Chains A and B, each alone.
Chain A
Amino acid sequence: MLPEILQQYPVAQALASFDADAIAGGKFDRGELTLEIDAAKIVPVCMRLKTEEKFIRCSDVTALDYYPAEPRFVVVYHLHSLARNERLRLKCRVSGQNAAIDSVTGVWRSANWFEREVFDLFGIQFRHHPDLTRIMMPEGWEGHPLRKDYPVTGNRV
């Protein structure tokens, strides 16, 4: 069911009519629309957004770590529609145990490196990613630096 606060936004309505269960929540804050998407449905939702809603640019993919809360990670997507000059943020909650989510590389090729970066620095697996290897850190590096339990200085725990 679409939350009441989102009903005035055409994008949210269009998504809700496509898949009623896909939107788990959302908000409109500081002029930015955020939709929380069920992590299992991220690929069909993105495909729909690209083909029907004209979000042809995936500006970036990143993640947040809310250690020690559970679900620990939030994967964040920023989309941009050139046709409507509109931006949209998608968020997916991902559990800390075997953190994994489907890759959206098949929808936007630009997600490739951004997902590799999230994999490298947060340790979130992207299923069906064509080349999921470390991109910033050297091969064979232990740990994922942007996790909150990874120290800024000193030895790793």
Chain B
Amino acid sequence: MSDRDTTSLLTPELEPQMDSLNPEPAPRPSRPRQMTLNMGPQHPSTHGVLRVVLELDGENIVSARPDIGYLHTGIEKECEVKTWQQVVTLTDRVDYLSNLANNLVYALTVEKLIGDIEIPSKAQWLRVMMCELSRLNSHLVWLGTHAIDIGAMSVFFYCFREREDILRILEMFSGQRMMTSYIRIGGVALEPPRGWREAVGKFLKQFPSKVDEYDELLENNPIWLNRTKGVGFISLEDMLDLGVTGPMLRGAGLKLDVRKTEPYSSYEKFDFDVPVYTDNDVYSRYRVRLDEMRQSTRIIKQALEGMPEGPWQADAPKIVLPEREKMKTQMEALIYHFKIVTEGFRVPAGEAFQAVESPRGEIAYYIVSNGTTRPYRVFMRTPSFGNLQSLGTLLEGRLLADSIAALGSMDFVLGDVDR
């Protein structure tokens, strides 16, 4: 016992770490207790592969930095090695929830480059009708998933029930539910199928009451109202400076809709309103999209009732594939078919820019041609990319719990962001 070592085990280096054992701990240096939270890339509420690096001070978000690129597939590069008509299938895959708007903006830009091609009015009206159906599809997916994020489960099932009807109509027209590639350069891919009027008419008869149903489900839901009203404010000035477009701007009182300001594909012949709300929060963005669904129904109704007769493709044998019957009987048609399929068609050299209102905002393609059968450059200005840029400003200084509602109200598609 006597030769026991009595030196303290607590060396001077270790002593500060024993603060909490002391009856009077030494005061800690005051520093902001910030924490870095990595949200995503596989977070369910980001609806895709988005990573947000959040700096938190307790429940408050000090800064939010979106990190994108996980879904980058180099679509713009791939466009440069496809023929003009083949690129249509790639545009489907950019924004897979509103692929028809992508098809349309690509077709319009190339038609602008070609110049002397006249799209028959039936094709234009079909394009409008299909685009509005795909807008409904996109808004329904948004509403369902956004409501799930906030905690209203049943809206999702209601929305996807009607979405199924829309997808069936899309399949009827194009043979595909999602990647339709329906709008082609020079018109649309196929003649409207037998019985399409009845199918669209039946859908139009049901749909308005369903929108009222969603409205009722959410409007009388105090949790929904508390979690959306006054949440996710970002000033209009910031949004314009950061490149935001679409329902977010219209939820802040700015009536910017490309369908009205720069009408394309005969939208000027349709009678519809641009819904605008001024509260600039998640709730007003929801109201804008809900009202847009009603307006889209109006447009589809007009398109159905006033659908012009005539061809659904332009009279441009060098661009549009000939009818099967003609190919069997006419030499010329066979030659054109062979040329289009093997080599593709040439587009005059030049550049063109075209903007279209997609469900998410302004989608614009800038295409450069050098006179060959393949595009020289296809640039896609996608609405989700522009909108997501405002995420940092939108979340800064807000509560973490509100970030999910704010994220959802932007309605981005990550395929559209990363391309």
List chain A positions with a Cβ less than 8 A from chain B.
Answer: 29-32, 34, 56-60, 62, 64-65, 76, 78, 82, 85, 87, 89, 108-110, 112-114, 121, 134-138, 145-146, 150, 152
Tell me, yes or no, whether B213 is within 8 Å of chain A by CB: no
User: Which chain A residues border B262 with CB–CB below 8 Å?
Assistant: 85
Write the nearest CB–CB distance from B6 to chain A, whole angstroms.
56
B contact residues around A82 at 8 Å (CB): 240, 254, 256
User: Given B350, B366, B419, which contacts A78 in the complex, CB threshold below 8 Å?
Assistant: B366
Asked if B115 contacts A135 (CB within 8 A), the reply is no
Q: CA A108 – CA B239 in complex, angstroms?
A: 11
Are A110 and B353 within 8 A (Cβ)?
Answer: no
Which chain B residue has the least Cβ–Cβ distance from A112? B389
> Is the CB–CB distance between B115 and A57 below 8 Å?
no
Report yes or no: B353 in contact with A89, Cβ–Cβ below 8 A. yes
Residues of A within 8 A of B240 (CB): 56-57, 82
Instruction: Report if B271 contacts A (CB, 8 A).
Output: no
B77 touches A136 (CB 8 A): no
**6 pairs, A vs B, C-beta closer than 8 Å:** A29-B351, A30-B115, A59-B381, A78-B366, A89-B353, A152-B77
**What chain A residues lie within 8 Å of B364 (beta carbons)?**
59-60, 78
Chain B: minimal CB distance from A136 (Å): 4
What is the 8 Å Cβ interface bit string for chain B, positions 339-367, against chain A (1 contact, 0 not)? 00000000000111101000000101010
A117: nearest chain-B partner, CB-CB: B385
Q: A113's contact among B81, B350, B377, B385, by CB below 8 Å, is which? A: B385
Which residues of A are found within 8 Å of B353, using beta-carbon distances? 32, 78, 87, 89
A30, A34, A56: the one contacting B113 at CB < 8 Å is A30
| Partner among B69, B112, B351, B366 whose Cβ is within 8 Å of the Cβ of A138 | B69
Bound-state Cα–Cα, A121 to B80, Å: 14
Asked whether A76 lies within 8 Å of B256 as measured between CB atoms, the reply is no
Q: What's the minimum C-beta distance from B260 to chain A, rounded to whole angstroms?
A: 10
> Is the C-beta of B368 less than 8 angstroms from some C-beta in chain A?
yes
Complexed CA–CA distance, A29 and B351 (Å): 8
Determine if B243 and A136 form an interchain contact, defined as CB atoms under 8 angstroms apart.
Answer: no
Tell whether B167 is near chain A: CB-to-CB under 8 Å.
no
Please tell me if B310 contacts chain A, counting CB pairs below 8 Å.
no
Decide if B292 is an interface residue (CB 8 Å cutoff): no
Q: How many Å lie between the Cα of A76 and that of B368 in the bound state?
A: 11
Identify B389's interface contact among A29, A56, A113, A138, CB under 8 A: A113
The answer for the CA separation of A60 and B380 in the assembled complex, in Å, is 9
Neighbour of A62 across the interface among B74, B115, B254, B366, CB < 8 A: B366
B77-131 interface (Cβ within 8 A of A): 77-78, 80-81, 112-113, 115
Q: How far is the CB of A127 from chain B (nearest CB, A)?
A: 21
Say yes or no: B389 contacts A146, CB within 8 Å.
Answer: no
The contact string, 1 if C-beta is below 8 Å from chain A, for chain B 145-172, is 0000000000000000000000000000
Residues on B facing A (Cβ under 8 Å): 68-69, 72, 74, 76-78, 80-81, 112-113, 115, 240-243, 254, 256, 261-262, 350-353, 355, 362, 364, 366, 368, 376-377, 379, 381, 385-386, 389, 418-419
The residue on B at minimum CB distance from A146 is B77
Contacts of A121 in B (CB 8 A): 76
Which of B81, B352, B377 gathers the greatest number of chain A CB atoms within 10 Å? B377
On chain B, the residues within 8 Å of A87 by CB distance are: 353, 355
Query: Which residues does chain B contribute within 8 Å of A136, judged by CB atoms?
Result: 68-69, 72, 418-419
CA distance A46 to B339 in the complex (A): 45
Are B377 and A64 within 8 A (Cβ)? yes
Kindly list chain A residues whose C-beta atoms are within 8 Å of the C-beta of B78: 152
- Which single member of B74, B254, B381 contacts A145 (CB below 8 Å)? B74
Q: How far is the CA of A42 from the CA of B23 in the complex (A)?
A: 65
Which A residues are in CB contact (< 8 Å) with B74?
145
Which 9 pairs show the lowest CB-CB distances between chains A and B?
A110-B243, A60-B381, A136-B72, A136-B69, A62-B379, A109-B241, A113-B389, A152-B81, A110-B242
Bound CA–CA A30/B351 (angstroms): 8
Known: A59-B381, A135-B68, A146-B77. A29 touches B243 (CB 8 A): no
Residues in B whose Cβ lies below 8 Å from that of A59: 243, 355, 362, 364, 381
Bound CA–CA A108/B243 (angstroms): 8
Q: Given that A59-B362, A60-B366, A108-B241 are contacting pairs, would A137 and B69 also be in contact in the complex, using a CB cutoff of 8 Å?
A: yes
Most buried by B among A59, A138, A145: A59
* Other A-B pairs, 5, CB within 8 Å; known A59-B364, A87-B353, A110-B386: A89-B353, A109-B243, A110-B241, A136-B68, A145-B74
Name the A residues within 8 Å of B366 (CB-CB): 60, 62, 76, 78
